[in-house]
């Protein structure tokens, strides 16, 4: 493919370290991605040469920091093809973004209004809507998955109705890697005048996302899933919807005028960015997007698909191993169990071999309950991983099986 894997791996200093005296093999990318030196350098440069608060100072450092932070917003806007830069709200991450929107919906929801949520959602995209329903008397309805982890669109047809106010789904399942047909879901919901929020945390570094082409109402993600820093993320929303949404937090920056008799709020995006933001994180977010752009999402997707196919074929050779969400249309995630072996035991043995995988419910207990299992072993790959690493993992899984049986 001409994919410069050796050059790419050289950008990630953590890949040089050892764990338990073994070379690190990092397959927990769905939890958080590793950071290239270019992103690390951007953080260090800000704190070393530009550290100042933004939007509020006339001095040189403040202006430089403001320019760097707002340039990052423009990079995010372009990456997701938002129409306007003020439609990009910087948040603390995906969870913060969801809660921001859910808090706003509390002002609108009425008793018996309905919110439809996918069965395979991360807990962060379930609990805020449960809280909103508990406070307003609205009803939470569940869009179920099938045995392959795919949302049942025929059921969505029957769930959508005059009381439906919002459909909430992920773009990609963090537990299974399943890519949901959000284009179809958005079209179906809009046909009933219903808004759609898409959790894109697991999609943003794997799939090209054009929010205008999707016509999505809200799209959210976290920088740390995209080779960026932790503690910063994005909420995209259509301008007219964000203008109607009430503020989530009060404080500095999000105000226009403050009197004891009342306060008027600033315009977008500052209306939702109260207080001093994660300035370094925002700048690092921009650096991560620049880095991903140098490689290209199409190239990344193609390479990661090769990794997925290689891992799937190899793991299926292990007797008794079952893959959950075993479909072609997915990102590079393999979630599996072997017979009656507990995933925690398998993951612990793999860790002693220097192989980092995730075990447990992956903050998706409803998915595990659906399959009747306590959890899975999840290996999630990124564009800086290799087939050779996957081969070592497969041998490691077989070794763990031999030790545990």
Q: Is the pLDDT of residue 368 over 60?
A: yes
Q: Is the pLDDT of residue 203 over 60?
A: yes
- Rounded alpha-carbon distances, angstroms, from residue 51 to 60, 72, 170, 195: 11, 16, 36, 40
Task: Name the pLDDT band for 1 (thresholds 50, 70, 90).
Answer: very low
pLDDT given at position 56: 82
| b/e map 102-130, b = 16+ CB within 10 Å | bbbbbeebeeebbbbbbbbbbebbbbbbe
pLDDT given at position 405: 87
Query: Are residues 141 and 288 in contact, defined by beta-carbon separation less than 8 angstroms?
Result: no
Q: What is the pLDDT of residues 312-328, one digit of tens each?
A: 999 999 999 999 999 98
pLDDT given at position 3: 86
User: Strands 376-380 and 358-360: what pairing?
Assistant: antiparallel
Per CATH, the number for 40-293 is 3.40.640.10
The pLDDT of 155-178, averaged and rounded, is 98
Residues of the chain with CATH 3.90.1150.10: 5-30+296-404
The region, left, alpha or beta by phi > 0 then psi within -120 to 50, assigned to residue 112 is: left
Q: Is the pLDDT of residue 81 over 90?
A: yes
The pLDDT of 49-74, averaged and rounded, is 96
pLDDT given at position 401: 98
% of the chain surpassing 90 pLDDT: 98
Residues of the chain with CATH 3.40.640.10: 40-293
Q: What is the pLDDT of residues 186-197, one digit of tens each?
A: 999 999 999 999
Q: What is the pLDDT of residues 391-400, one digit of tens each?
A: 999 999 999 9
pLDDT given at position 78: 98
Q: What is the pLDDT of residues 253-265, one digit of tens each?
A: 999 999 999 999 9
Q: Is the pLDDT of residue 249 over 50?
A: yes
pLDDT given at position 2: 62
Q: What is the pLDDT of residues 280-321, one digit of tens each?
A: 999 999 999 999 999 999 999 999 999 999 999 999 999 999
Mean residue pLDDT across the chain = 97
Task: Name the pLDDT band for 363 (thresholds 50, 70, 90).
Answer: very high
Domain 5-30+296-404 classification at class level: alpha beta
pLDDT given at position 209: 98
- pTM of structure: 0.97
The catalytic site residues sit at: 363
Q: Is the pLDDT of residue 331 over 90?
A: yes
- The rounded distance, in Å, linking the Cα atoms of 305 and 136 is 43
The pLDDT of 61-69, averaged and rounded, is 97
pLDDT given at position 126: 98
Query: Are residues 151 and 145 in contact, defined by beta-carbon separation less than 8 angstroms?
Result: yes
Q: Is the pLDDT of residue 98 over 80?
A: yes
């Amino acid at each position: 493919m001409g994919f410069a894997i050796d050059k790419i791996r050289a950008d990630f200093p953590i890949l040089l370290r050892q764990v338990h005296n073994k070379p690190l093999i990092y397959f927990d990318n769905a939890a958080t991605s590793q950071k290239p030196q270019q992103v690390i350098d951007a953080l260090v440069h800000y704190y070393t040469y530009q550290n100042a608060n933004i939007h509020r100072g006339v001095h040189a450092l403040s202006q430089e920091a403001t320019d760097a932070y707002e340039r990052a917003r423009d990079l995010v806007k372009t990456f997701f093809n938002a129409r306007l830069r003020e439609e990009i709200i910087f948040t603390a991450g995906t969870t913060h973004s969801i809660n921001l929107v859910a808090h706003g919906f509390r002002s609108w929801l009425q008793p018996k209004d309905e919110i439809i949520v996918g069965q395979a959602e991360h807990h962060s995209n379930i609990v805020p809507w449960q809280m909103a329903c508990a406070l307003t008397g609205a009803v939470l309805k569940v869009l179920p998955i099938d045995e392959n982890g795919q949302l049942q669109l025929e059921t969505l047809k029957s769930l959508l109705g005059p009381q439906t106010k919002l459909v909430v789904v992920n773009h990609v399942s963090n537990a299974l890697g399943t890519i949901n047909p959000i284009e179809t879901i958005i079209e179906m919901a809009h046909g009933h005048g219903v808004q759609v929020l898409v959790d894109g945390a697991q999609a943003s570094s794997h799939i090209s996302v054009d929010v205008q082409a999707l016509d999505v109402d809200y799209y959210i993600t976290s920088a740390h899933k995209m080779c960026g820093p932790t503690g910063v993320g994005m909420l995209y929303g259509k301008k007219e919807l964000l203008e109607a949404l009430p503020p989530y937090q009060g404080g500095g920056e999000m105000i226009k005028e403050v009197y004891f008799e009342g306060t008027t709020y600033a315009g977008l995006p500052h209306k939702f960015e109260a207080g001093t933001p994660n300035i370094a994180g925002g700048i690092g977010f921009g650096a991560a997007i620049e880095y991903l752009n140098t490689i290209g999402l199409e190239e990344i997707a193609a390479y990661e698909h090769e990794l997925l196919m290689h891992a799937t074929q190899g793991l299926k050779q292990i007797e008794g191993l079952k893959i959950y969400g075993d479909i072609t249309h997915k990102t590079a995630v393999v979630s599996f169990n072997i017979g009656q072996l507990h995933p925690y035991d398998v993951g612990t043995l793999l860790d002693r071999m220097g192989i980092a995988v995730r075990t447990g419910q992956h903050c998706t207990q409803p998915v595990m309950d659906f399959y009747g299992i306590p959890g899975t072993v999840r290996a999630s790959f990124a564009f800086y991983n290799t087939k050779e690493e996957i081969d070592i993992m497969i041998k490691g899984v077989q070794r763990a099986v031999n030790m545990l049986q």
